[in-house]
Amino acid sequence: MEPSSTPQQLAEESIRIDSHLDGTGERSLADDVLDGLTRPFKELPPKHFYDARGADLFDQICDLPEYYPTRAERAILVQRAEEIAALTGAVELVELGSGTAAKTRVLLDALQAAGTLERYIPVDVTESMVRDCAETLTSEYPGLRVHGVIGDFERHLDHIPPAAGPRIVAFLGGTIGNFPPGSRRRVLRQIAGLLGPSDHLLMGTDLVKDPRVLEAAYDDAQGVTAAFNRNVLHVLNRELQADFDPEDFDHVALFDPHNEWIEMRLRARREHTTLVRDLDLPVHFDAGEGLRTEISAKFTPERLQSDLSAAGLELVRWLTDPDELFALSLSRVQPQ
Ligand code: SAH
Ligand code: AVI
């Protein structure tokens, strides 16, 4: 008789993790620094916030009283997950920028209750997040297979395994808003390319609202968002042997009413030059000079519709919380 598997063996069999960041992750950080810190208006892409400490700070942000998006999105999911499960008939869930997959459990529960759930595919640049969440979810959902993809969703979407049945591609939290308009449409088109005729995109977007509410959400009283913002300098110090003193920079978060996005910057408190040793790159800051670290676009239903349709997607459901703070859109590929 075959010896029966231990619970640990079963968990290992149900997990597969592929990493696509070997070597190239650091190269992309170096490229982004060389490109972004030599411009007249200095800028870095926000994906470099998320080392283990950055991911932990983001989790703390999600619990802050001022940061409403996580609570609002969770409330929509709790209200509508059953309907989403019924409408999509999904057997698997691909999640881009999955993080700790905290809200994802609401969807997994609904798919499990509908009896369709088979596989979860988290995709994230932060390796520890993908590994930890695979371990935790396979033990929380017996029978669930997890195929984690450690990679950059701007570059590695073609490494997502083929669909084994109807699937939901979830892009939660409003992360799509962290791309400037041109890249946003490019990313949306690439995501649309992942979808077959029986698949759906479930995407979270933060909505335009009172600038005071928005600015408080990105400049909390406890200073957690400020620490998250400065964390990118710790990443550069560690990964590229830079000598930034994060305390030389103020955290700034302002709503830009023209572009309807929050802009986060690090503003130099004094004139100084810092050295990024691995790139042999001196970077000069004037006193008061800003380094843009993130934009977080806020949407109207019209803006989202036009972005979706530019990517060849059509809206199936528009779901909001009672205060219309945040929206989840369910969309699918437009029929030819
Ligand atoms: N979806 C979660 C986490 C949002 S935070 C939520 O709604 O709470 C953004 C997540 O996206 C982080 O986990 C970060 O590591 C990941 N991320 C950011 N840019 C990425 C990229 N280019 N490719 C893959 N993951 C990325
Ligand atoms: C991940 N992303 C959607 C968050 C946002 O709100 O734009 C990141 C964040 N930045 C500051 N606080 C939260």
Measured in angstroms, how far is the CA atom of residue 120 from the centroid of ligand 2? Answer: 23
**What ranges in the chain are assigned the alpha helix state H?**
7-13, 24-36, 52-62, 69-88, 104-113, 127-140, 181-192, 211-217, 224-240, 301-310
The residue type of 116 is T
Question: 212-251, pLDDT tens digit by residue?
Answer: 999 999 999 999 999 999 999 999 999 999 999 999 999 9
Exposure class string for 209-227: b at 16+ Cβ within 10 A, else e: beeeebebbbbbeeebbbb
pLDDT category, 4, cuts 50, 70, 90? low
Angle between helices 224-240 and 24-36 (to 10 degrees): 110
Averaged pLDDT for residues 4-29: 74
Question: 278-299, pLDDT tens digit by residue?
Answer: 999 999 999 999 999 999 999 9
Q: Please state the atom number of ligand 2 nearest to the C-alpha of residue 97.
A: 1
The residue whose CB lies within 8 Å of the most ligand 1 atoms, and thus the one to mutate among 32, 120, 175, is 175
CB of 225 shorter than 6 A to ligand 2: yes
Q: Looking at ligand 1, which residue's alpha carbon is closest to its atom 4?
A: 173
Question: 157-199, pLDDT tens digit by residue?
Answer: 999 999 999 999 999 999 999 999 999 999 999 999 999 999 9
pTM metric for this prediction? 0.95
Question: 85-113, pLDDT tens digit by residue?
Answer: 999 999 999 999 999 999 999 999 999 99
